[in-house]
Structure 1
Amino acid sequence: MNPPVESTPNRYRYYVLLMLTLVYAFNFIDRQIIGILSPFIKQELGLDDAQLGYLKGFYFAVLYTVMGIPVAWLADRYSRINIITLSLILWSGFTALSGLAGNYLQLALCRIGVGIGEAGGTPPAHSIIADLFPAKERATAMALYALGIPFGIMLAYLASAFVLSGGQADWRSVMIAVGLPGVALAVLLKFTVKEPVRQQSPAEQQRPMLDSIAQLLKTPCWWGMVLGITLSSFANYAVIGWQMDYFVRRFSDIDIVWLLIVFGVINGTLYALGVWAGGVIADRWGRSNPGAYARLPALALCLGVPAFLVAIHSDSLWVAIAGFTLLQVTSGTYFGPCFAMAQTLSPANCRAMSTALFFFVLNLIALGGGPTFVGILSEYYITSHGQLNGLVKAFEWLALPFVLSILMFGWTSLRLPLDLEKVRRGNR
């Protein structure tokens, strides 16, 4: 019989969670840095919006999504800490190599390499967190882990501002500067975190993996949470990937370094607050109303999406910043609840696989499609509307996936109490 989750000392549990969150932060530094540096890369390499869209989305996501499944299969059987360590070294190395790319093809190959490496980050980490924290604390723990997203994006913005503020540095120096520290973090993780005991009942240990996966994929609310976050993330990845281009085009005389610092601070404070609050509120509200894990994201997006649509049509810098910020804050609320449900609705012997399948759908459609979709549309509209309005027209199309996401979360909130009760009774 495995020791209960509560027997692991709190201090150590939260140290492991901190380390995994730092790894996740580096995941997002290296993932989003291409979008932050987009205006500089476009100018030096002479790229169009469609080419930039492929770099920000498709080239990264194509093998990131595919490799996640075999990596998760390994993570459900072998050391998850070793897998995360090797993956971090791989994606950090390819980020640094991106700074040495001499042309578009070389940069695209480096982005593919970053995607392959990052495939081994989140599924094993989610599985470890599920083994260290009981179900009643899981959304909060997952929200704390998801703080790696805003903190990672914050560090990417601030690192870019710091390096570029010297006047002599360029986007290549930023790539190298944010890539190399990940290797040092990988060494620290390997030597300070032990592989945790897997929390499986005897019946789960004997159940064939394919049976568990089939059971998972028959759970309606698992699909509801996946599609809810996928549709919203399709739009959000597009927004994050293209917001620097938008602000540079709308406010052409803006101080780039100042803008990088502003976005860095927003991500590290307000966006982080939204991510943390989403997990805490969902866990507390979910005690009396299990549907809250899906209802909270739906309600939050109803506030953020209109603010974004107002922002992209405003000539006021501060109105634009406020609208983009409110969208980020409200969108952050879905990470903790969705990540938690991916684990809670999953049989314990396929938790890493649950996250991998979750992310396969999410990232193939959202991360691969969102920035690419806006890039292609923007390039199409530029001919008749110009650089700025072409991008604005592309942004307007994002209202559709946002609305569909709200509807999907709303449906899931009604069904979720039934599916969670079936899990509790072991009667799926």
Structure 2
Amino acid sequence: MKDAPVMSESKRYRTLVLWLLTLMYVMSFIDRQIIGILSPFIKAEMGFTDAQLGWLKGLAFALLYSIVGIPIAWLADRYSRKKIVTISLIAWSAFTALTGTANSFLHMFLARVGVGIGEAGGSPPAHSMISDLYPKEQRASALGVYSLGIPIGIGFSYLLAGALVESLGWRGTLLFLGIAGIALAIVLALVIKEPKRGQLDGHDIQLKSVGIGESISTLAKIPSWWAMCMGIAWVSFGGYAVSAWGIDYVMRFKPEYMPNPDNNNFEWLMFWFGMIHLFGYGAGTYFGAVITEKLAKKNISFYGIMPGAVLFIGVPALIGAFWVQNIHLHLLLVTIYLLSAGVYLGPSFAAAQTLAPINMRAMSTALFFLILNIIALGGGPTYVGWMSTFLTEAHGETHALRLAISSLVVPYVISIIAFFLAAKTLPKDWAEAESRNKIMANQE
């Protein structure tokens, strides 16, 4: 009886930690996404080409974000994850503010590289901490909540742009976000405590330290881990590209939605893009994780089946959105896509954590993000920017961008294939992971 209050307090505490880490993830996606929304204003002031903007939106951020995540994850599997998360949030927020002071392409490129370096220390230690606060049966939904940081972050990036750009300008908006991130880092430092590693996977966990090479070798030999990684990487290739260029497309196709003191079209557009990401992408992310978790109790393969199956609906809706002539129909089709696109997040990250040995969990997430972001974040926006510039002379800026986005159907098909391949190998790999972690746990 004496233990009950402690357990109750523990549940409240872990919920608080989960939402604080989710809020940190929200900030990371606001800082990551905001460049895509501010892109038309940066282009107007700085005179950048689509190819240059593509580099800023994609490769500049992903370049070191992907690589630095590996040594940071190695540290997170050994040292205080709380400290790593806090320092990382301060770093990327400061570089977000510096992006707002850029006076050249090189200056802005380097600032975006700095944002990427900082954000590399966010998710790997956060995923590891969440996995030590929630048992494996609840990890998909817990990581689904954490993954809500993506739709909430993207949604609020639109809402904040609509609220701040006209009053603060694109530079002032970035300065505001930098200051807000540093304030959140202080809250994290004061509230979060470092959880005991592996505490929900058995009794008296004895963790053996492993090197980066051994971690990579071990994880790469798990077929389901690799297939889920490819699935999330190629669906994100399209997702990052669309997020980075969607507003550019609308403002070229419908220039009346540029900021104008004589109407509120820009604020209206930002509001609805914010809403469909918050509630469309958010619903797909949360309910996709919850439904998959329930289905997976009967068949683990649903961790791969669900993310792949829903894309058969979402991808045609997305491509269609860039060919319709009506802005309301465009928003409706993008909403359908976002509902399907969010489904992969919780299942993919839960698989990454559960399939990995306990002492490689931060590294597992870091490797997921390394592959994902080199392919998706580095490739998606950069590819569309390059393709749009290549096609502009023959087709004009608007149609060139439409064609570049439409060609994203190819990576989406690769993603669907990868998720269904994962579904075939997941039962065997999941069972082996459970057996391996029981041995590591030294259960009494």
1:374 aligns with 2:375: no
- Write out per-residue CA displacement over residues 242-292 of structure 1, whole angstroms, 9 at most, x where no aligned residue: 000011111121222211111111111121111101110111010001000
Q: CA deviation at 1:425?
A: 2.4
TM-score by length of 2: 0.92
Q: CA deviation at 1:321?
A: 1.0
1:385 aligns with 2:392: no
Query: Quick one: which amino acid aligns to residue 146 of structure 1?
Result: S
1:79 aligns with 2:89: no
Counting only pairs closer than 5 Å after superposition, residues 55-70 of structure 1 correspond to structure 2 as 55-70=56-71
SS at match of 1:132: coil
| 1:226 counterpart residue number | 229
| 1:297 counterpart residue number | 307
Question: Is the Cα–Cα contact under 8 Å of residues 208 and 359 in structure 2 kept in the other structure?
Answer: no
1:236 aligns with 2:239: yes
Distance 1:83 1:311, change over 3 A: same
Question: Is the Cα–Cα contact under 8 Å of residues 6 and 134 in structure 1 kept in the other structure?
Answer: no
Counting only pairs closer than 5 Å after superposition, residues 202-351 of structure 1 correspond to structure 2 as 205-206=207-208, 208-209=210-211, 211-254=214-257, 255-351=265-361
Q: CA deviation at 1:424?
A: 2.1
Question: Is the Cα–Cα contact under 8 Å of residues 72 and 121 in structure 2 kept in the other structure?
Answer: yes
> Bigger CA drift: 195-204 or 47-56?
195-204
Distance 1:267 1:84, change over 3 A: same
Q: CA deviation at 1:8?
A: 7.5
Query: Quick one: which amino acid aligns to residue 194 of structure 2?
Result: E
CA distance in 2, matches of 1:370, 1:380: 15
Distance 1:303 1:257, change over 3 A: same
| 2:197 counterpart residue number | 198
- Write out per-residue CA displacement over residues 284-307 of structure 1, whole angstroms, 9 at most, x where no aligned residue: 010001000111011111110000
1:161 aligns with 2:162: yes
Query: Which structure 2 segments of 5+ residues have no match?
Result: 258-264, 440-444
Distance 1:6 1:129, change over 3 A: farther
CA distance in 1, matches of 2:172, 2:210: 49
CA distance in 1, matches of 2:175, 2:107: 15
SS at match of 2:132: helix
CA distance in 2, matches of 1:164, 1:399: 33
Question: Is the Cα–Cα contact under 8 Å of residues 159 and 178 in structure 1 kept in the other structure?
Answer: no
| 1:179 counterpart residue number | 178
| 1:188 counterpart residue number | 187
Question: Is the Cα–Cα contact under 8 Å of residues 165 and 257 in structure 1 kept in the other structure?
Answer: no
| 1:136 counterpart residue number | 137
CA distance in 2, matches of 1:87, 1:242: 27
Counting only pairs closer than 5 Å after superposition, residues 402-421 of structure 1 correspond to structure 2 as 402-421=412-431
- Write out per-residue CA displacement over residues 289-328 of structure 1, whole angstroms, 9 at most, x where no aligned residue: 1000111011111110000111111111111111122112
| 1:28 counterpart residue number | 29
CA distance in 1, matches of 2:206, 2:357: 7
CA distance in 2, matches of 1:422, 1:213: 18
Q: CA deviation at 1:211?
A: 4.3
Query: Quick one: which amino acid aligns to residue 50 of structure 2?
Result: D
User: For this pair of structures, how many residues does the alignment match?
Assistant: 423
CA distance in 2, matches of 1:243, 1:204: 49
| 2:118 counterpart residue number | 117
- Write out per-residue CA displacement over residues 33-73 of structure 1, whole angstroms, 9 at most, x where no aligned residue: 10010100011000110000000000100000010001001
SS at match of 1:77: coil
Question: Is the Cα–Cα contact under 8 Å of residues 95 and 115 in structure 2 kept in the other structure?
Answer: yes
Query: Quick one: which amino acid aligns to residue 206 of structure 1?
Result: K
Distance 1:34 1:422, change over 3 A: same
CA distance in 1, matches of 2:32, 2:12: 30
SS at match of 1:313: coil
Moved over 3 A (4+): 5-8, 200-204, 206-213
SS at match of 2:286: helix
Question: Is the Cα–Cα contact under 8 Å of residues 357 and 436 in structure 2 kept in the other structure?
Answer: no
Distance 1:386 1:192, change over 3 A: same
Question: Is the Cα–Cα contact under 8 Å of residues 378 and 390 in structure 1 kept in the other structure?
Answer: yes
Question: Is the Cα–Cα contact under 8 Å of residues 164 and 257 in structure 1 kept in the other structure?
Answer: no
> Bigger CA drift: 399-408 or 6-15?
6-15
| 2:261 counterpart residue number | none
| 2:98 counterpart residue number | 97
TM-score by length of 1: 0.96
Query: Which structure 1 segments of 5+ residues have no match?
Result: none
CA distance in 2, matches of 1:410, 1:287: 18
SS at match of 1:9: helix
- Write out per-residue CA displacement over residues 177-209 of structure 1, whole angstroms, 9 at most, x where no aligned residue: 122101010000001110001016667513644
CA distance in 1, matches of 2:110, 2:322: 32
